[in-house]
Structure 1
Amino acid sequence: MARLKKNRNLSGAIRNVVFVNDGGREFIRARPDGVKQTAQTKAAAGVFGLVSSREKTFRLKLLRMMGVPAAQYFAAKHRARIRKTVTDNQGSSSGNNTGFGNPQALAGFSFNPKMEWENCTNFFPTFEMESSGKMKVHLPELKWKRQIIPPKNSSSAVLTITALNADFNSNMVPIKELAKLEINISGTSAVPAQEWIFPVDAAEGWLLIIGCLKFASPQQSAVMKEAFSAAYLWAGMAGE
């Protein structure tokens, strides 16, 4: 409905025509079409909300557990990667047919875009799930500046490999640390090859193995506090 204002300008709309006043200007334009929600767009919005909620809950817990800051753009990229784990007909607790059933989509995702895992490391651990319900991780010999590629001014690093269970199909996304291996690395000596074996719970959810390298220098600075590289090294369903 259009109405006449005190300055004798029209305001409002008549059918598909809208009257617009911009300072001393007066003009008309077509009324924009309303956005019609389809079943597909409603479903997509529901998945986006579910992913955003679960990812944020998980991310805050995970970064606190690892003791690393959230690098710039990490949240958006991590949320997009978590979206790739969504599958249908998984019977999630959200009350619909959307669930999180493809954790393998996380493998290789790096936490810090300024220090990508593939640029800081030159070694490839192998993973073997044993029939006894244990995971065996084989790590090769690690040498400074060969298998570990440090940033400028760093003199040592701590490599932490963490195995955890996470259930994205639960509202609170509970996380349980299953095992942790810490290795100190510097230029003085090589770290020999080793096998790391730990038991795996038969809990619901995912089994995730995350590698994290924290670099250090003799004169620790604010910049070095963010000198870390981390990535999902292995991801699968728990109990499989």
Structure 2
Amino acid sequence: MARVTKNKLLSGAISNLVFRNVDGLQVVQSLPDKVKQTSRTKESGSEFRTCSTWAKKLRWNLSAFLMQQTDTYMYRRLTGALYHAIRNNTAMLKGTRTPLNSDTSGIVGFDFNSHSPFRENFLPELNVVLNEDRQVVVSVPELCSKEALIYPKRYYHAELLVFVTATSLQLNAPKEEAYVVFELPYAPTLQPMRHWTSPVLGEGQWVVVTAKVLFYKTDQFVAKNYVNSAAFSPAMVLFSGHT
């Protein structure tokens, strides 16, 4: 419904026309057509919202690992990456696909902090597998830390934190987690290959393995003074699958 303003101009809608006042001028526009949602668009919207819930649960499970040292848009990027991975499961119908019945390896390589990509600061390739006994096996190759890592200026100590989290995605279900820390001193000596095996994980779990490099220096008052922050914290998804 349109009305006459104090400037004797129309404001509002009449039939399929919209009247507006722009800097004292009368502007007339057509009403936009209503967007009709098809069943497919409704299903896609519902699936995206569900992926957002799963991504939120994963972020919650990783909160101690991330320590709020991510970029501002990490949560949006993670939801998008997970949604893209779920959509690749074309063998199942929309609305039935979950991280427990789909290949979620598409989120492997996801950087939690786009300001400091993990692979630009930790050069060696880590090997992560989920064995038949439902254990995560992590292998760190033989390396020389001085050449394998890009240390921040005046920092000569580093740790590689590998964190495993597993969830059934059920409401209020307990999560499973385990972690290991590998010391990476700034030194020219060659360190041998190292392995770590997690405890046995439960059946029907979505398993995500992440890694973060922690750089620090020491002084007489603080044992470890870490440089990691929201501006710099190399952290990445190493593995995503289900038991």
CA offsets, 1:91-128, max 9 Å, x none?
A: 99xxx424232221121112121221111112223345
CA separation in 1, counterparts of 2:52 and 2:130?
Answer: 31
1:70-85 residue pairs with structure 2 within 5 A?
A: 70-85=70-85
Q: How many percent identity over aligned positions?
A: 24
Aligned residues: 232
Q: Secondary structure at the match of 1:124?
A: coil
State the AA in 2 paired with 1:164. Answer: T
Correspondence 1:1-240 to 2 at 5 A: 1-5=1-5, 7-86=7-86, 87=89, 96-100=95-99, 101-168=102-169, 170-171=170-171, 175-177=175-177, 179-188=178-187, 190-218=190-218, 224-226=227-229, 227-238=232-243
The 3 A distance-change label for structure 1 pair 132 and 45 is closer
Q: Work out whether residues 159 and 214 of structure 1, in 8 Å CA contact, stay in contact via their aligned partners in 2.
A: yes
Structure 2 Cα separation of the partners of residues 18 and 128 of structure 1:
61
| Superposition deviation, residue 132 in structure 1 | 4.3
Letter in 2 for 1:224: V
CA distance in 1, matches of 2:194, 2:217: 26
Take 1:98 and 1:88, find their aligned partners in 2: how far apart are those partners?
9
Question: Are the aligned partners of 2:215 and 2:226 in contact in 1 as well (CA < 8 Å)?
Answer: no
Residues 135 and 6 (structure 1 numbering): CA distance in 2 closer, same or farther, change over 3 Å?
A: closer
CA contact (8 A) 2:212 2:233 kept: yes
Alpha-carbon distance between aligned partners in 2 of 1:27 and 1:66, rounded to the nearest angstrom: 52
Instruction: Give the strand-richer structure, 1 or 2.
Output: 1
Higher relative contact order (CA closer than 8 Å, sequence separation 6+): 2
Report the secondary structure of 2:183's partner residue. Answer: strand
**Residues 90, 167 of structure 1: CA spacing in aligned structure 2 closer, same or farther, 3 A cutoff?**
farther
Distance 1:47 1:175 in 2: 23
Separation in 2 of the partners of 1:234 and 1:73?
21
1:218 Cα deviation (Å)?
Answer: 4.5
Distance in 2 of aligned mates of 1:41 and 1:149: 45
Q: CA deviation at 1:236?
A: 1.7
Give 1:88 shift: 6.6
Q: Could you tell me which amino acid in structure 2 is paired with residue 53 of structure 1?
A: T
Give distance in 2, aligned partners of 1:215 and 1:36. 53
Q: Distance in 1 between matches of 2:134 and 2:52?
A: 32
With over 3 angstroms needed to count, the CA separation of the structure-2 counterparts of 1:173 and 1:115, relative to structure 1, is: farther
Which residue type is aligned with residue 195 of structure 1?
H
Q: Which runs of 5+ in 1 are unaligned?
A: none
Q: Cα distance 1:129–1:205, how it changes in 2: closer, same or farther (>3 A)?
A: closer
State TM-score, norm by structure 1.
0.81
Q: Secondary structure at the match of 1:199?
A: coil
